Amino acid sequence: MLIVESDDRYRDALQTCLARYDRIDVVAAAARAQAALRLAHRTRPDVAVVDAGLAGSVTGVELGLRLQRARPEMGMVLLATQRDPVCLAELLLEKRAGWSCLVKSPAIDGEILRRAVEGAAAGLLVLDPALGASLGLHRPRRASRELPRLTPRRREILDRMARGYSNGAIAEYLGISRKSVENQVNLLYQELGIGRSGELQPRVQAVLLYLGRQPGKD
């Protein structure tokens, strides 16, 4: 994983936080876009964690787009503030998969960061609960005929999916077995009319519906 953050202390804090997780390997860190591009070419990370307000002439969003043009399979985690424009969230929804956004705060929540990194690596869409709430993205923005069909339990599972929880994490959160979550997720896909033959992963399609977007449409 590549970390791109202008603030030296915050960059060190991100590295220290992520070092606790065995499945995450930070291979490089940079303070500026040009250095990040060189390091990405050399180290070929699966995910880049990028400050959306990166100092310099190239913003974090622009850097993320450049990195993904060079390696389309690379996941992106943007660190934004709640004051960042709504267009940042719109970018994430347009990219649909492999782009996540977290609120940048002094106290780093390691579990939320880990879920965002793992979700981006898996091609999922993950939004920080705080950012999603401030932008109105963790509730459907326009009516969907499919969502009312869901039971309260499946709505709760879908909400956790939108927050980047894996099936195992959802099971732990709800206090049920992973198999039960998997069964509920499959039923959720059926009720939303989501198949596995489309361009987008079923999980991404479900999250987009929950966020009030139609998969495959602007």
> 2: which strand partners?
28, 48
Find the angle CA(138)-CA(124)-CA(31) to the nearest 5 degrees.
Answer: 95
Q: Which domain holds residue 173?
A: 147-210
Residues 125 and 25: their CA atoms lie apart, in Å, by 21
pTM for the model: 0.67
Q: Classify 54 as helix, strand or coil.
A: coil
pLDDT score, position 1 = 93
pLDDT score, position 202 = 81
Same-domain pairing of 184 and 88: no
Q: pLDDT tens-digit profile of 27-80?
A: 999 999 999 999 999 999 999 999 988 888 888 888 988 998 899 889 999 898
Same-domain pairing of 41 and 72: yes
Q: Classify 191 as helix, strand or coil.
A: helix
User: In this structure, what CATH number is given to the domain that contains residue 202?
Assistant: 1.10.10.10
Same-domain pairing of 86 and 172: no
First and final C-alpha spacing in the chain? 30
Residues 216 and 214: their CA atoms lie apart, in Å, by 6
Q: Indicate if the pLDDT at residue 87 is higher than 60.
A: no
**What 3 state SS string does 8-24 have?**
HHHHHHHHHHHCCCCCC
- Environment class of 79 (CB within 10 Å of its CB; exposed 0-12, middle 13-18, buried 19+): buried
Same-domain pairing of 89 and 48: yes
pLDDT score, position 49 = 95
Asked if residue 215 is part of any domain, the answer here is: no
* Contact partners, residue 28, CB within 8 Å, separation at least 6: 2, 3, 39, 40, 42, 43, 45
Same-domain pairing of 92 and 48: yes
Asked if residue 74 is part of any domain, the answer here is: yes
Domain closes at, from 113, 135, 157: 135
pLDDT score, position 93 = 52
Same-domain pairing of 55 and 151: no
Considering only CA atoms, which of 79, 11, 2, 10 is closest in space to residue 44? Answer: 2
Asked if residue 142 is part of any domain, the answer here is: no
φ and ψ at residue 61, rounded to 5 degrees: -65, -45
Asked if residue 61 is part of any domain, the answer here is: yes
User: In this structure, what CATH number is given to the domain that contains residue 78?
Assistant: 3.40.50.2300
Q: Tell me the two tokens of residue 78.
A: 């943007």
Confidence of residue 129 (pLDDT cuts 50, 70, 90): low
Domain closes at, from 73, 103, 135: 135
Pick from 13-22, 26-35, 104-113, 135-144: least confident:
135-144
Query: Cα 196 from chain centroid?
Result: 21
Q: pLDDT tens-digit profile of 13-29?
A: 999 999 999 889 999 99
Find the angle CA(211)-CA(120)-CA(130) to the nearest 5 degrees.
Answer: 50
Confidence of residue 217 (pLDDT cuts 50, 70, 90): very low
Q: Classify 124 as helix, strand or coil.
A: coil
Q: Find the mean pLDDT for residues 78-102.
A: 64
Residues 66 and 8: their CA atoms lie apart, in Å, by 23
Write the CA distances from 161 to 20, 133, 156, 188, 211, integer angstroms: 23, 15, 9, 11, 11
Residue with tokens 């709504």: 86
Report the percent of the chain where pLDDT is more than 70. 77
